[in-house]
Amino acid sequence: MEAAIITGAADGIGLATARLFAARGWRVALLDVRAEAVEAHAAALGVEHLGVRCDVACEADVLAAIEAVAARFGRIDALVNNAGIGTPHIPTLEQGLEGFEQALRVHLSGTFLMSREAGRAMLAQGGGAIVNLSSIAGVTGLPRRNAYGAAKAGVISMTRSMACEWAGKGVRVNAVAPGFTATSLVQKLERDGSIDIKRLRGRIPMGRLARPEEIAETIVFLCLPAASYVTGAVLSVDGGWAAFGDAGLAQEAGV
């Protein structure tokens, strides 16, 4: 039975992805800094699943988590690098270095560490799939989101590099770039006044935020044999956000 690791699996896209993998018959390791949450979610999915506390920006945590998963499942067939943190939407001149570097550590260093160690296991067993979570912030310019955008753009570059390095060895590496998604993180940004959901809907050609389950479907697809010739790709799952370049509201474009 195939085994998947999902980071940032305590809620949102990560949890939706874990649930979808489990529904498709995979064994799932849910990783997050919130140990109680992922342990509870794993138990709810069934006894064959595993919840592990892991700070992806901490090398010792990553090594321990990979060891625990390998010991439990004996293999790693898929890794989903979903763990991330929100960053405040503030002008560049007001941004501090500490917050900037923290975003890079979690999103970029965390993706590197998890990919390196899971990739090591996948190469040894002869194959596997890695899906990294980028963002519309990594493919377009979002003002006041320097650290987040830089980290997510870096994830895309690293995805392509690893994909080319491992393509002939059975390990595929792809990225998904979601748009605004109805998660607790986005809800917090709205409460903080960082985003205006009504205005966002007007900017999205499909006129709504994504559901976590919709992003999860794309992630799981990239890990399946159906995507066996897909590597180094960056798939936008954003309701048309990155495609829209006209002036005014996106919904008015077809009127």
Catalytic residue, chosen from 21, 26, 148, 166, is: 148
**Residue 148 is among the residues annotated as catalytic for this protein:** yes
Could you count the other beta carbons within 10 Å of the beta carbon of residue 98? Answer: 7
Measured CA to CA, the distance from residue 190 to residue 210 in angstroms comes to 15
Task: State whether the Cα torsion 204-207-212-217 is positive or negative.
Answer: negative
Answer yes or no: are the C-beta atoms of 215 and 6 closer than 8 Å. no
Residue 252 one-letter amino acid: E
Task: Please state the separation of Cα 201 from the chain's center in Å.
Answer: 22
Q: Which of the residues are catalytic?
A: 148
